[in-house]
Amino acid sequence: MRLILGLLLTACALQAVEPPESGGVLVVAASARDYVLGAGGALAKRIDAGAPVYVVIFGNGDKSAVGLSPSEARKRNRAEAEAAGRKLGVRETLFLGYSEGYLAQISSSELRNQLMALFRIYKPDELFFPDWYVHYISDDAYRVGRMAEEAPYGGGSLFLQEYTYMDRGGYAPREYFFYAPDRPYREREGGEGRADFVGEDVGSTFARKLAALAELATSNTAWAKPGLDASSYARGFATELAETIGRRHGYARAEEFNHLGRGGGVPEHVREHARSAR
C-alpha cells in the first residue's frame, strides 16, 4: 500500500511539471534493451504520428554490466535507458527499480497493482509488453509480460479503491501488442487464439532504433559475445533480426507482434446461453 501511494505521489509531482497526455502508448519492459529490440521501430512510428509514448522499466540493470559494481551498473543502465528513449522520442521513461533477475521473488499482485495505478495516470490507448507465451525469454521478461497481460482485468473502479477515492477511477487500455524481446516468433507462437499476428514495416524508423540501441552501451557490452565489438554486435544483431522478420511479412525490415484489439461485443461464454427472441 505504501509503495502504491508513493508511486501516485511521485506521478502527481511529475504532473506538476508536465502532465501525462492521455490516449497514447504505455510500454512495459524488464529492461530497455527488451523493448528497443522488440518494438523500438513501431514505437518510433507512433511517435512520428503524434502519439505520446511512455516507458515503464521494472528491472534496474544491476547485473547487466561487465566489471562494474551493482550500484554503478544501475546508475549507468538507467542513464543509458533514458538516452535511448530520447533517441526514439519517448516522452518519459519511468524506472521501478527491481533487482535484475529477482522479479520472480516479487509478488505478482504488487507488480500488477503498480501497473494498474499507472493505467489510471497515463490512460494509454495502447499497451506494449513482452510476450510471455514465447519460449526462451528471460525470466524477468516472462514475469513482466505475464503480469502486464493480467493487469487490465483490474481496470474497474472497484480495484484499488483508494485511487478511486482520489479521483483516479478505473482504467485499462484497449489495444495490446505482445512483443518477443530479442528473436523472431516461431511456429505456433503467433496468431494463436484471439490474437492477430501482425508485422509492421519499420524501414522508416530503423535508423532511430539503431541509434537508441547504441545508447545502451553498458548492457550491450554485457550481452555481446566475448571478443566482439559490442556496438557492432548489437547493430548487426538488430539488423539481422529486422530483416529476418521482414522476409516473413513482405518488408525489408520489420517488427512483429501478437495483437489483441477491441472486444468483439458480447463474450462467447455469454452468447452460448442466449435464447432467440419470440
Which tens digits make up the pLDDT trace of 18-42? 778 889 999 999 999 999 999 999 9
Residue-by-residue DSSP string for 167-230 = T------SEEEEE-SSS---TTSSS-TT-EEEEEE-TTTHHHHHHHHHT-HHHHHHHSPTTS-H
> Exposed (0-12), middle (13-18) or buried (19+): which is 106, by Cβ within 10 Å?
middle
Using the structure block, give the residue that is written with the C-alpha cell 503480469: 147
The alpha-helical segments, DSSP class H, found in 18-156 are: 32-48, 70-88, 108-122, 139-150
- At residue 7, the pLDDT reads 53
The answer to whether residue 271 scores a pLDDT higher than 70 is: no
pLDDT digits (tens, 9 = 90+) for 178-212: 999 999 999 989 998 889 999 999 999 999 999 99
What pLDDT was estimated at residue 154? 85
Task: Count CA atoms closer than 13 A to 252's CA, side-chain side.
Answer: 5
User: Is the model's pLDDT at 231 over the cut of 50?
Assistant: yes
Q: What is the DSSP letter of 257?
A: E
Report the 10 Å Cβ neighbour count for 234.
24
The pTM of the full predicted model, rounded to 2 decimals, is 0.86
Q: Is pLDDT at 270 greater than 60 in this prediction?
A: no
For range 163-184, the mean pLDDT? 88
